[in-house]
Amino acid sequence: MTEAPPWWSRRWSLVLPAVGLVTAVAVQGMHVFREGPRARAAHLAQSVPAEVAGWGSRELPLGPNEFLSSEAEKVLNYDEMLNREYSRGGRSFGVYVAYWGAGKMPTRLVASHTPDRCWTENGWRCLAMKFKQSATLDGVALQPAEWRQFEPPLGGSPVYVLYWHLVEGRTYDYGGHFNNVPSPQLWWKDAVQQAVLGSREQYFIRLTCNEPLENLWNDPGFGAVLRGLERLGLAVPAPAAKAN
């Protein structure tokens, strides 16, 4: 006959789940006392110039029609968005920026809307990828970018992509792999940070082009756009000053 567990074991088997439940409720309850979301005043259009030397530009909707654009806005739930195309002759490049103020969107949800996942789910095929690519602009180091080359669903010329996800001014670490499936470790890490800290300020910045973006790096008009993105936090943050 199996011996019954000691009384203290039975007691802790009840106490520990109760403690876990109370802790979870307390952590979630912190949101009650946290300030609501405070987004910045509209700033994307002021930061990224529409008129740049040698290029024409136009604003683009998020979808091919009004309904799909509206549905995309509901899913992304951003505070502000910029989606613009610059063109000159047969060359063109696009700039997409979405902004969420603190308290607006969980990091793990923003991280799930990358080209790696959204584009491939809509029939795009990734032909090549590079991770955490470094670059400089006017001698200033930029935060590492994710580099991709995609083929459209029906074939045609490839599209080159650079994207950044900034969380409180620092690049979100997607790891060194294609992100069509979210990392379980990152998902849980973000869930815990969400419970403790709340949703933080975020930008998602994406550059697209019908040729390698490196070819445009020294173009004055393209440089003006990059400097606008730099003002949004694309430059590597200065190290924090040490206390005396």
For 103-168, the DSSP string reads TSS-HHHHTT-SHHHHHHHTT-EEEEEEEEEEEEETTEEEEEEEEEEEE-TT--S-EEEEEEEEET
Residue 60, sorted as left (phi over 0), alpha (psi -120 to 50) or beta, turns out to be beta
Assigned domain for 215 exists: yes
Q: How far is it, in rounded angstroms, from Cα 56 to Cα 87?
A: 5
Q: How far is it, in rounded angstroms, from Cα 19 to Cα 70?
A: 44
The amino acid that residue 170 corresponds to is R
Amino acid 12: pLDDT: 42
How would you write the pLDDT of the chain (244 residues) with one tens digit per residue? Answer: 445 445 444 444 444 333 333 343 334 444 433 445 555 656 999 999 999 999 999 999 987 766 667 788 888 899 999 999 999 998 999 999 999 999 998 988 898 899 999 999 999 999 999 999 999 999 999 999 999 999 999 888 999 999 999 999 999 988 888 887 766 666 566 667 666 666 789 999 999 999 999 999 999 999 999 999 999 999 998 775 555 5
Assigned domain for 19 exists: no
Assigned domain for 136 exists: yes
Tokens for 201, please give them: 């300020």
* CB contact at 8 A, 241 and 201: no
Assigned domain for 28 exists: no
Amino acid 63: pLDDT: 76
- Could you tell me the residue range of the domain that residue 129 belongs to? 38-234
In the chain, the percentage of residues whose pLDDT exceeds 90 is 55
Assigned domain for 15 exists: no
Q: What is the pTM for the complete model shown? A: 0.79
Assigned domain for 30 exists: no
Assigned domain for 2 exists: no
Q: How far is it, in rounded angstroms, from Cα 57 to Cα 224?
A: 13
Amino acid 114: pLDDT: 93
Q: How many domains does the chain have?
A: 1
Amino acid 200: pLDDT: 85
Q: How far is it, in rounded angstroms, from Cα 67 to Cα 28?
A: 35
Amino acid 88: pLDDT: 95
